[in-house]
Structure 1
Amino acid sequence: MEREWVAEESVVVAAEPARVYEAVADLRRMGEWSPECFAVWVRGRPAKPVGPGTGFVGFNRIRWRVWFTTGRVTAAVPGEVFAFRVSSFGIPVAVWGYRMEDIGGGRTRLTEYWEDLRRQGRRAAFVSLLGRVFTGVPAGERAALNRRGMRATLERVKAALENG
C-alpha cells in the first residue's frame, strides 16, 4: 500500500460558521477535541485572538508516549478557514486545518484536513524517524490514524456546539 500524504474528514454541525470557527480557532480548547493533543500553550499574548503568525506548542500523547510539537497559525479567516503548520526540531512536519462551509439552515459543513510535509530529503527522513520513535506510529500508518482522530475531533466539536 502506498503512503498517503493527505487526509480529510467532514461533519455537518448545527451551528453557524462563525460559531464553529470560534470553537476550532481557540487553540487552548484543542485538548477537548483531539484524541492525540491534550494541551496547547499559546505564545505571546494569550488573551488576544490568534491570527496568522501566532506561535504555539502542542502537547500530544498516544498511549504512554508523550511528545510536543511547535506550530504557527497560517490562516485565520473567521467563518471560513483556520490552519496551522506544525514542526519538530525546526523541521516542517504537517499542515493541519479546518474549513467551514455554510450549507444553510444554520448548519455548517466542518472539514478537518492534514497534509504530511515529510516528503523528501534527509531532514524529512530524520523527522519521519523521530515521529515513529516519539509516537510509535510508522509513517505509512499516519494517515489512517489521523483520519480516525479527525472523526473523533469533529464529533466532539459537533457535540459541544449542538449540546452546549
Structure 2
Amino acid sequence: MPDEVAESVIVNAEPADVYAAVSDVRRMARWSPECFATWVWSRREGRPAGFVGFNRRGPLVWFTTCRVVVARPGEEFAFDVSTFGMPVSRWSYRLAAVPEGTELTEHWADRRTRGAHLMGRIFTGSVANDRAEANRDGMRTTLSRLKGELDRH
C-alpha cells in the first residue's frame, strides 16, 4: 500500500505566481476534481492558516479540516488534513525554478490511523490503495488545470 504519492508539472510562470495560486486555497475548487469548495476560518498575516475543504466523489460528500503547516513563498505550501479530530494526510505543493518557469510538485502523504482508514472508507468509498490511486489521478487533473490557467501565453 503506497503511503505517499507525488506528481509534477512544468508551469510557464514564475514561482511567486505559482505559489500565490496554490496558497490561495479558495482557488482549489477550480482545479481539483474532488474539492468543490473551501471555507477559510483562520488567517495569519493575511494568509489562510486554517480552512475546511468540502469534497465530492461520485454521490459521496464529506468535509475535512485543514491547518497550514508550511508557507514559504516561492518554495512550498503544505497543510495537514484531519477529519473528526483524526489525522488524514499532508498535502504539499513544492516549487522549483526551472528555465521554462516553475516545476510544481503536488505531494500527498497518508497519515491515517486505523480508525481514520475506516472513516475514509465509509465517507469516500475507497480502501487505502484506492485512495492513493484516486489521489494520483486527481493530482494529474489538478496540475493540468492549474497549468492551463497559469501558463504564460
Task: Provide the TM-score with structure 1 as the length reference.
Answer: 0.89
Residue 116 of structure 1 is matched in structure 2 by 110
Q: Per-residue CA shift, 1:93-141, capped at 9, x if unaligned?
A: 1000100000124x100000000012xxxxx111101101111111121
Q: Per-residue CA shift, 1:33-52, capped at 9, x if unaligned?
A: 111111110013599223xx
Aligned partners of 1:41 and 1:21: how far apart in 2? 19
Do the aligned residues in 1 keep the contact of 2:43 with 2:50 (CA within 8 Å)? no
Aligned partners of 2:63 and 2:110: how far apart in 1? 17
Q: Per-residue CA shift, 1:9-29, capped at 9, x if unaligned?
A: 000000000000011000100
Matched, 1:57 2:46: no
Residue 88 of structure 2 is matched in structure 1 by 93
Aligned partners of 2:64 and 2:152: how far apart in 1? 31
Do the aligned residues in 1 keep the contact of 2:26 with 2:38 (CA within 8 Å)? yes
Residue 121 of structure 1 is matched in structure 2 by none
Aligned partners of 1:113 and 1:126: how far apart in 2? 23
Tell me the C-alpha RMSD between the 2 structures.
1.6
Q: How many residues align?
A: 153
Shift, 1:163, TM fit: 6.0
Residue 131 of structure 2 is matched in structure 1 by 142
Q: How does 1:9-158 map to 2 (within 5 A)?
A: 9-45=7-43, 48-50=46-48, 54-105=49-100, 107-118=101-112, 124-158=113-147
Q: Give identity over the alignment, percent.
A: 54
| Paired letter, 1:42 | V
SS in 1 for 2:47: coil
More strand by share: 2
Q: 4+ residue runs of structure 1 moved beyond 3 angstroms?
A: 44-47
